[in-house]
Amino acid sequence: MKNPYLRAVWAVFRKDLAAEFRSRELIPAMLVFAVLVVLIFYFALELDVKARTAITAGALWVTFSFAGTLGLNRTMSAEKDQGCLDGLLLAPLDRSAIYFGKFFSNLAFMLIVEVIVIPAYSLLYNINLFNRGLLLVTLLGSVGYVAVGVLLASMSVQTRTRDVLLPVLLFPLVLPVIVAAVKASGGFLAADAFTEISPWLNLLLVYDIIFLAAAFMVFDYVVEE
């Protein structure tokens, strides 16, 4: 890559992936947590086939949201505790490159968990989730969730109550993503007309663009506090 900005983003992204594949702490923890949530839904809600289909979209996004929050908390707290965050801030690069490197690494972690959870959910509940529309919604929803999550995790990691503060700040802001993702996912699973689903897809797309742009503009100020 000849562009210095893209090289900086790639360096942060590669560092996070290398650290995770060396330690193998974050993805297994997220995966175990996600599978436990799916199992709790399965055993706590004794539903017939029709009812299972009706709750699938909501159950999936509850699982993705909780696992994603766990991942965001652990990646940023590890950076802070090991002094890596201070080193990144002292590096001669645009601060927004740190944000996008963290964004892509956390998105990769979340997508890895989703790639495993979706087949597991399909097998356990006997529901076919291999739907191109559902996979598109999963990608768009994950982008919006991580875009806001990385920004807020960078803010909350500076506090002593970061484990509690991040969910308190994050869930109200990502509520539009979760609602839109659940509605769009449910629409694809129920084979609704695309005209009924497209407003929710548009909401996800607009949300992703707005918050990525906002994070690009304010990350420098947020990470300094």
Give me the number of domains the chain comprises.
1
What's the whole-number mean pLDDT along residues 112-137?
88
pTM for the model stands at 0.89
Give tens-digit pLDDT for 83-100.
666 667 676 677 788 889
Is pLDDT of 33 > 70? yes
Q: Are the C-beta atoms of 114 and 66 separated by less than 8 Å?
A: no
Residue-level pLDDT at 147: 93
The torsion angles phi and psi of 151, rounded to 5 degrees, stand at -60, -45
**Structural Rg of the chain based on CA atoms:** 18
pLDDT band at 49 (very low <50, low <70, confident <90, very high): low
Residue predicted with more confidence, 128 or 118: 118
Q: Are the C-beta atoms of 191 and 121 separated by less than 8 Å?
A: no
What's the whole-number mean pLDDT along residues 40-69?
80
Residue 70 exposure: Cα atoms within 13 Å on the Cβ side: 20
Burial of 141-163, coded b for 16+ CB within 10 Å and e otherwise, reads bbbbbbbbbbbbbbbbbeeeebe
What's the whole-number mean pLDDT along residues 208-221?
88
pLDDT band at 23 (very low <50, low <70, confident <90, very high): confident
Residue-level pLDDT at 123: 87
Is pLDDT of 5 > 80? yes
Residue-level pLDDT at 47: 63
- Mean pLDDT (the chain) is 84
Question: In this predicted structure, which of 1-15, 130-144, 193-207 has the lowest mean pLDDT?
Answer: 1-15
Q: Could you list the residue range(s) of the whole structural domain that residue 146 is in? A: 4-224
Is pLDDT of 42 > 70? yes
Residue-level pLDDT at 4: 81
pLDDT band at 76 (very low <50, low <70, confident <90, very high): confident
Q: Are the C-beta atoms of 97 and 8 separated by less than 8 Å?
A: yes
Helices (H), 82-131: 84-90, 95-125
pLDDT band at 175 (very low <50, low <70, confident <90, very high): very high
